[in-house]
Amino acid sequence: MEALLFLCHRIPYPPDKGDKIRAWHVLRELLTRYRVHLGTFVDDPADRVHLDFLKGLCASMHAVEIAPAQRRLLSLRGLLGKEALGLTYYRDPSLAKWVSAIRREVAPRKVLVFSSTMAQYVCGPEWSEARRVIDFVDVDSEKWADYAAQKPWPLSALYAREARCLRRFEARVATTCDAAVFVSKAEAEVFSARVTVNAAQVHAVENGVDLQYFARDPHRPSPYPRAAPVLVFTGAMDYWANEDAVQWFATAVWPLVLAARPDAEFWIVGARPSAGVLALGQLPQVFVTGRVPDTRPYLQHAALAVAPLRIARGVQNKVLEALAMELAVIATPAACAGLHRDAPPHALACAEAPAFAQQVLNRLDEKSTGGRAYVNAHHHWGTTLRQLNALLEVA
């Protein structure tokens, strides 16, 4: 089997949050075709237990364990120049040394980079003979611009700077690499509009869902203590966009729902809830679980899923997983932006709190159908990853 270098900004296992879900399925596909040399970072001590598992899969692996708080402080040295702080955050001498050794000793002809910040390791001319594909996933510079518009000064100024600096780097990466990949056609179009790049180099490879895993099981017990109509939100709860989403929903939308349906409950399901998210558990009929071993019971036994993200890019895994479990999803337009036009009628977009609450109330007692068929048609990993394989295999 041919050698391939795979660089990923976060350990691609377990697949328990958005970027790791995509990265894991990409890695699993790569392993069927290549001897994979994996370079990555570990930013959660709980993930250390999975290192041996990944080492057993890969031809070689170099994983750098980092403390996010310390890294954020160190990354501020990027302010001395014109670099994005994300680049200094993910710059590591030991990883650079390992990547150089892989180039000399293995000489892989294929390189796949997951996340723009990892491209710094393979942008040099010494890698020009390899076919380099960059999976940007989302247009991260636009995410920082979105944050800048939402945050007060001085964070707004810092995030605006990050957007500008990262956009310059994204442009450099796109012109250096052989193909640039995004999670949706909409993200690819945003990038092409912002960066001068050959349109033939920009591609959309959409997220998928493991339909065998995300399937209803009549023997799966309910995790909810009461037989109440439950609205569920799933996601990593230390991610600011998710935190903002549940805070807005719990304070602006939930009181309107509860006034009409006092029997309803809102459950926030996800690891590492921030202090602000934990505080929402003090509100009437709001429950915060923290990390759970499996989100499927919470989806299967809920009445509705909500995705009230006010800042979102690309395709939302939480929406696709809920649809695969035949659950209706009420979401903001930002959370629905990555869906196709033939998305089921129970994937509804509402921007304002009163309309969002009304859609929840309208569908709280309805049975949703069609979501699984939609996901199978548009978001099957086997189909989506064939596109990525084709980009790597171009002679």
Question: What is the pLDDT, as a whole number, of residue 16?
Answer: 85
Predicted confidence (pLDDT) at residue 17 exceeds the cutoff of 90: no
Print burial letters for 13-35: b (CB count within 10 Å at least 16), e (below 16). Answer: bebbbbbbbbbbbbbbbbbeebe
Q: What is the pLDDT of residue 49?
A: 96
Question: Over the stretch 286-342, which tens digit does the pLDDT of each residue have?
Answer: 999 999 999 999 999 999 999 999 988 777 899 999 999 999 999 998 888 878 877
Tell the burial category of 165 from Cβ atoms under 10 Å away from its Cβ (0-12, 13-18, 19+). buried
Q: Hey, what's the torsion of the CAs at 385, 54, 269, 280, to 10 degrees?
A: -120
Please indicate, yes or no, whether residues 315 and 388 belong to a single structural domain of this protein: no
Considering the domain architecture, whether residues 191 and 289 belong to the same structural domain is answered as no
Do 203 and 295 fall into the same domain? no
- Tracing tokens 């980092």 back to the chain, one arrives at 66
Is residue 155 included in any domain, yes or no? yes
The predicted-structure confidence for 174-201, as pLDDT tens digits, reads as follows 999 999 999 988 899 999 988 878 878 8
Are residues 266 and 318 located together in one domain of the fold? yes
Structure tokens at 71: 């890294």
Residues 8 and 139 in one domain: yes
153 plus 289 within the same structural domain: no
Look at residue 222 and tell me if it is in a domain.
Answer: no
Percent share of the chain, pLDDT over 90: 77
Q: Domain containing 171: what range?
A: 2-208+380-393
* Domain presence at residue 353: yes
When pLDDT is cut at 50, 70 and 90, the band that residue 347 belongs to is low
- Statement to judge: residues 369 and 385 lie in one domain: no
Question: How does pLDDT run across 213-231, given as a tens digit for each residue?
Answer: 999 999 999 999 999 999 9
Per-residue confidence (pLDDT) for residue 395, from 0 to 100: 59
The per-residue pLDDT for 311 is 86
The pLDDT value given to residue 312: 82
Tell me, what DSSP letter sits at residue 353? H
Query: Do 181 and 250 belong together in one domain?
Result: no
Residues 298 and 363 in one domain: yes
Is the residue at 217 inside a domain?
A: no
User: Parallel, antiparallel, or unpaired for β 329-331 and 202-204?
Assistant: unpaired
Q: Assess whether 150 and 161 both reside in one domain.
A: yes
| Mean pLDDT lowest among 18-32, 49-63, 336-350 | 336-350
Would 294 be classed as within a structural domain?
yes
Query: Looking at the domain assignment, is residue 215 inside a domain?
Result: no
In this structure, is residue 100 part of a structural domain?
A: yes
* Mean pLDDT calculated for residue range 64-86: 90
**pLDDT digits over 96-114, tens only?**
999 999 999 999 999 999 9
Quick one: 58 and 133 in the same domain?
yes
**60-65, strands of its sheet edge to edge:** 60-65, 34-42, 2-8, 110-114, 131-137, 179-182, 202-204
Residues 63 and 193 both lie in one domain = yes
Q: How many domains does the chain have?
A: 2
State the average pLDDT for the chain.
92
- Residue 338: its pLDDT value, please? 78
- 42 inside domain: yes
d(CA 303, CA 340): 23
CATH number at residue 293: 3.40.50.2000
